[in-house]
Structure formats: C-alpha cells, structure tokens
Amino acid sequence: MTTVLVVDDEPQIVRALRINLSARGYDVLTAYDGKTALRVAVDEKPDVVVLDLGLPDIDGVEVIAGLRGWTSMPIIVLSARTESVLKVEALDAGADDYVTKPFGMDELLARLRAAVRRATTQTVEDPIVTTATFTVDLAVKKVHRDGAEVHLTPTEWGLLEILARNPGRLVSQKQLLQDVWGPTHVGESQYLRVYLAQLRRKLEADPSRPRHLITEAGMGYRLEL
C-alpha cells in the first residue's frame, strides 16, 4: 500500500485530501507544520509527500531541503497562484511537481500517481550517460574520454553528476550550488564558473567552444548529449 504524507495548515484541505486519498486506497499521514512533517517523514517513511508551501513555522522550501537531505521520495508542492517565485525555488530545492491552489482533486491524484510511478521505475534507469566526447558512469562514479579515465576532483564530480542526472535539461545555478556546496552558498555563482571551466578543460574537445557543457546565461547550465 502507498503511504502519503499530507502537510498543510488548513484543516479543510487536509480533511478533503484525507477523504479522497483514503477512498482510493492510500494510507494517509498528516502534519500541520514543518517540524511535525519532518519528524513524521523520518519515523514513517511515506512513499510520497504532498506539501503546502505556506506553513506556520518553517518555510516550505526548507522543509523540502530537510527531506532532500536524506531521501529522494517524491514531493508534490501545493502553492497559491501568486507565489510563483516560490514555486521555482521549491522545484530547485528538489520538489518533483507542483499544483496551484485551488486545485482539482483529479489533477492532484493524477500527479500523485505519476510521481509514485516515476519513483518506482527510476531504479531501472541506465546509469551511464554518453556524449560524443565522453561518458559518465553514475554507478561507479567514473568518467572516460577516448577510452582513458579522466580524474575528477570531488567538487568537479559533484557538479557533473547533477548535470548528468538531468541530461539535456537546464539545471538552475541555484540547484547546482545548493546540491554541491549546500544551502549557505547559494549566490556564489563564481564557483560555478571556475569549476565549469575546469570540467570543460578536462572533457571538451575545444574548451573555449563547449559542445556539451553549455552555459545558459542568467539561468544555469545544461549537459547537451
């Protein structure tokens, strides 16, 4: 059975979700603030979290960070229409999907099913990402170029791993900084420039004209295959 943790401070929303989810065979846990949510998540290990961003005690984004510190369980964010900046932050922080309040129950259920499906099938994924110039083996944490292994420092690997786990996708500076250097270093985009330059020097055929480690000015970076 699938267990869902619902985190929201509005009782009527929690009630509505509990009724609908129970009726569809989910186990439902609830929490009305961030601290409780984090504790329940640790104790009960739900399969998926539905999280309202506007909590009374902790910022919703921090709750996501707190969860992402030890788990990759899917997180679906609920947010009001006007908080779109927050939504971006939430996704950067590691949320899987978001639903704008007010939401249709059908939509939420569909996204819930999709999130659970993704989480359960993800393990099968191919752990080797290949480009025309180099290959990244995510399972063994090794990079090869022209048959030879390329030595990367821990930080270099951390960056490349995130990009390789999102092949073709634009990854925001914030997410990269947060995942590699931690939440306190968000804003130090200079780090990214230095390390991307190093990665290019090691991996690109022509580092000054990168074909795979692409910069999207003002937004982030992308691993183009």
Partner DNA sequence: GGCTTCCTTTACGCGTTCTTGATGCCGTGC
Partner DNA sequence: GCACGGCATCAAGAACGCGTAAAGGAAGCC
Which residues are near its own copies by CB under 8 A?
Answer: 12, 68-73, 81-82, 84-85, 94, 100, 102-104, 106-107, 110-111, 114, 119, 122-125, 139-142, 153-154, 157, 162, 168-170, 178-179, 182, 216-219, 222
Tokens of 20: 């609908």
Shortest gap between Cβ of 45 and its own copies (angstroms)?
11
Tell me the residue ranges of DSSP E strands in 73-177.
75-80, 97-101, 128-130, 134-137, 142-145, 148-150, 170-172
Question: CA distances (Å), 197 to each of 23, 52, 156, 209, 213, in order?
Answer: 53, 39, 10, 11, 9
Selected from 181, 184, 186, 225, the binder of DNA by CB under 7 A is 181
> What is the rounded CA–CA span in Å between residue 183 and residue 12?
33
- Residue from 191, 205, 222, 224 binding DNA (CB under 7 A): 191
Helix (H) or strand (E) holding 4: strand 3-7
Should residue 217 be labelled a site residue for DNA when binding is judged by CB under 7 A?
A: yes
Interacting partner of 181 out of its own copies, DNA, none (Cβ under 5 to 8 A depending on kind): DNA
Least distance to DNA, CB of residue 48, Å:
27
- Does 154 engage in binding with DNA (CB under 7 A)? yes
Binding footprint of DNA on the chain (CB under 7 A):
81-82, 151, 153-156, 173, 181, 188-197, 200-201, 207-208, 215, 217-219
